[in-house]
Amino acid sequence: MNPPISKLQAVIQCKCPRCRKGDIFTGKMYSLSFKGQITNEYCPYCDLRFEREPGFFYVSMFISYAMNVAEMITVSVASYILGLALTYDNLWYYVGLLFLTVLIFSPFNYRYSRVMLLHWLTPDLGYVPGSGDDMQLNK
């Protein structure tokens, strides 16, 4: 039997908060189709229902917003430090950079805002050693 992965590894790999083995999402984060960003309704390993109640993932919009703000501030400060002067003439460069930042990081923010909500902001979800093992034996 493999030892369980750590909580940080489970977050990075988008694994179930209860068994840390099942995937929360189908497919890859960055793909040409939207099928990679579909949240599984249930954990394929331990059968945990990810959407705890109707509208549960609306809270992840606030997490995604905070991530967006942090990314935009980081890109703005980095571009200023790297030599893009903060003048009225360069306003559209900053707007373009920020728009590109939001566009590039939106799949990342969507996915990890939901993972953070499940792992860190839902108090009744926690790691249960051996959860789902009996289900895998029955399959």
The confidence band for 4, taking pLDDT boundaries of 50, 70 and 90, is confident
Residue 33: per-residue pLDDT: 72
Q: For the whole model, what pTM was predicted?
A: 0.84
pLDDT digits (tens, 9 = 90+) for 76-101: 999 999 988 888 888 999 999 999 99
CA dist 40 and 49 (Å) reads: 9
| Burial (0-12, 13-18, 19+ Cβ within 10 Å), 78 | exposed
Residues 5-57: tens digit of each pLDDT: 899 999 999 999 999 999 999 888 777 776 768 899 999 999 999 998 899 99
Distance CA 73, CA 1 (A): 45
